[in-house]
Amino acid sequence: MKKILFRSILIIILLFLGIRYFTSDANSDNQTFGVTIEDKVIDVIDMHMHTGTWEALTEPYKKRYSERVPKPFKFVIKYLLGNGTTSEGIIKQLNKAGIRRAGVFAVYSPDTTGIASNEFLNEQIRNYPDRMLGFASIRVDHWNLDGEYQLEKLEEDIGKYNMVGLKIAHAHQQIRLDDDRFDGIYEISGRLNKPIYVHTGTSPNPYTRLEPPYVDPKYLENSIRKYPNTQFILGHSGYDSATVSLTYLDSAITLAKRYDNVYLEPGALGASKAEKVLPEYLKIIKENGLIGKVIYGSDGPQFPGYTKSHLDRFLTAMKDTGYTAAEIELLLQTNFEILFELQ
């Protein structure tokens, strides 16, 4: 009886906190942005945020996401995720982290995580042009049948919705990194001067491919060489989420040093489970002289508080590994501004 009463009280508290969080105003007159390092205010940009709805997720992904909370509270996760990835939810996470601007991704992964279309993305970000920057994506699950149409639609969506970049994920979309059927996407990216974010490394999400040709950045080298005017951002820097290790970082480092059109993004390396490898990652980046080619991203918003905790862990690790204020500014702000011509 006591256990039932205790659980009931916890559920009521969780519901109250959830309702309070998601019904509070996303904007505040007292909102401040940036982090201060050695008396220098850095206007952080998080280039890696997701939008979407609970209904648009695949059933396996819903199940995986629900495993993050204790069994008695699983019913709450639909409410938390469904509200947390709307424009208002993203803005709240950014505000709590003191982040002014973020890149927000469209997603077409109907076999793994779900769909957040270019149209849906535009609906979410269009009222926040100074806060959220859109990255278009493309559907490839029927590529052999409608590839030409999808390329035409991608180019149209980029212009129509004023997207700043593109995003694709071979492991989620189940196409090898060296598959030349994606050449048309890279061509559009370079011709329109819209950098392309390419997911590399493994993912914990159901049915994503784990084999090296789908996750190891080295399999992208021919495309990088073939399209020198296309700016490639290697998402997650090859982080091996499945084993919580830097398995494919060497490949990412090699490409970033070898080619001027390759950049790195460290999304999820500030998550709690990756905390043990984050200092090593930052040390390797610094030792290889690549601080000027790393663009900060978190892979948020995920759950309330994640965006802030990811940034906090990054700041702590950068300080602990000897990054100067100028180097921190490059990674958290300036590199993005230069690549996306925001300066």
User: Which pLDDT does position 204 carry in this prediction?
Assistant: 87
Average pLDDT across each block of 10 residues of the chain; the chain has 343 residues. List them in order: 55 52 56 93 97 82 69 62 80 97 96 94 97 97 94 98 98 95 96 98 92 98 98 98 96 98 97 94 98 97 92 97 98 98 83
- Cβ of 122: how many Cβ atoms within 10 Å? 17
Q: What is the C-alpha separation between 93 and 47, in angstroms, rounded? A: 14
- Cβ of 243: how many Cβ atoms within 10 Å? 10
Is this structure's pTM higher than 0.85? Answer: yes
317: tokens are 């690790």
208: tokens are 């994503």
Q: What is the C-alpha separation between 204 and 329, in angstroms, rounded? A: 30
User: Which pLDDT does position 25 carry in this prediction?
Assistant: 52
- DSSP run (H or E) holding 41: strand 40-42
Identify the three-state secondary structure at position 91. Answer: helix
> To the nearest 10°, the Cα dihedral for 276, 280, 282, 288?
-170
- DSSP run (H or E) holding 150: helix 143-160
End-to-end Cα distance, the chain: 62
Name all domains of the chain by residue range, CATH numbers in brackets.
Answer: 37-339 (3.20.20.140)
User: Which pLDDT does position 22 carry in this prediction?
Assistant: 47
From residue 257, alpha-carbon distances to 206, 232, 241, 264, 293 in Å are 33, 13, 23, 11, 9
24: tokens are 């509070």
CA-based nearest residue to 180, from 236, 226, 212: 226
Identify the three-state secondary structure at position 200. Answer: coil
Q: Do the bridges between strand 107-109 and strand 114-116 make them parallel or antiparallel, or are there none, so unpaired?
A: antiparallel
User: Which pLDDT does position 23 carry in this prediction?
Assistant: 47
Q: What is the C-alpha separation between 195 and 215, in angstroms, rounded? A: 19
∠ at Cα 204 (333, 53), nearest 5°? 70
> H helices then E strands: how many in the chain?
15, 11
Is the bond into 213 cis (omega within 30 degrees of 0)?
A: no
CA-based nearest residue to 332, from 99, 166, 132, 125: 99
Residue 146 backbone phi and psi in degrees, to 5: -130, 25
